[in-house]
A and B are shown apart, each in its own frame.
Chain A
Amino acid sequence: EAGVAQSPRYKIIEKRQSVAFWCNPISGHATLYWYQQILGQGPKLLIQFQNNGVVDDSQLPKDRFSAERLKGVDSTLKIQPAKLEDSAVYLCASSVQRGRETQYFGPGTRLLVL
């Protein structure tokens, strides 16, 4: 079974530029999560999708971050415009929505904002 796929793996941009990350969850997983992991910290949930609907985006900085999961499968997270403090690893995870299910993570995208 293929795992969670993410691209790109690395991205370097200048502040005020825009950037987009892509995630393809494990086949059949209804729930998709985007996390932000700043160096030296644990992952922090940004947004959670159930199929193509948003369950929780309370910690997403909506003035600059946006995410979509149009067909209930893959998802895109966008930052526009980027700030220096957005430098982090962006992790995507997915789980089967059948009660309490483990989240499986992708390899992450390492973003550096200069």
Chain B
Amino acid sequence: AQKITQTQPGMFVQEKEAVTLDCTYDTSDQSYGLFWYKQPSSGEMIFLIYQGSYDEQNATEGRYSLNFQKARKSANLVISASQLGDSAMYFCAIGSPQGGSEKLVFGKGTKLTVNP
């Protein structure tokens, strides 16, 4: 069974600073994907970034980057130059191929608060 652990229930960061949100995972699959989603108070899950287990380079998407350490089974999200609009819940998820699509298992999330 796959499992995601997010050990930081809440994080605080000053506007314009960088912040790292931790994520560790457990899986017996050789091929898997790691995802980060943002959930504002409105409730919608917004896709941020994806890392494949065989990808050699860390994924980057604008201000988001994923620090992937396969041996440590960690996939931390780094947000650079934080903005007030980044305040939200952040979920890490692991996916395994099933029927040609992903079956995602999510962690419990980290609540990020950006202070002005």
Task: Digitize B85-100: 1 where CB-to-A-CB distance is under 8 Å, 0 elsewhere.
Answer: 0000001010101111
Is A40's CB under 8 angstroms from B100's CB? Answer: no
In whole Å, how far is A101's beta carbon from the nearest beta carbon of chain B? 7
How distant is the Cα of A105 from the Cα of B45 in the complex, in angstroms?
6
Instruction: Enumerate B83-116 residues with CB–CB distance to A below 8 Å.
Output: 91, 93, 95, 97-109
How distant is the Cα of A42 from the Cα of B90 in the complex, in angstroms?
9
**Contact check: which of B33, B42, B47, B95 meets A104 at CB < 8 Å?**
B47
Q: How many residues of B contact A (CB 8 A)?
A: 28
- Which range contains the number of A residues in contact with the other chain? 20 to 34
Is A42's CB under 8 angstroms from B47's CB? Answer: no
How distant is the Cα of A50 from the Cα of B102 in the complex, in angstroms?
11
Given contacts A41-B108, A44-B106, whether A99 and B45 have CB atoms under 8 Å apart is: no
Q: Which residues of A contact B50 (CB under 8 A)?
A: 102
How distant is the Cα of A66 from the Cα of B102 in the complex, in angstroms?
21
Is A105's CB under 8 angstroms from B103's CB? Answer: no
Is B44's CB under 8 angstroms from A105's CB? Answer: yes
Is A42's CB under 8 angstroms from B99's CB? Answer: no
Is A50's CB under 8 angstroms from B100's CB? Answer: yes
**Contact check: which of A33, A42, A50 meets B108 at CB < 8 Å?**
A42
Instruction: Enumerate B22-50 residues with CB–CB distance to A below 8 Å.
Output: 33, 35, 37, 42-47, 50
Known contacts A103-B47, A105-B46; 16 further A-B pairs (Cβ under 8 A)? A31-B99, A33-B104, A42-B93, A43-B91, A50-B99, A50-B100, A55-B101, A56-B99, A56-B103, A91-B45, A101-B102, A103-B104, A105-B37, A105-B45, A107-B42, A107-B43
Ordered nearest first, which 3 A-B pairs have the shortest CB separation?
A42-B106, A105-B45, A55-B99
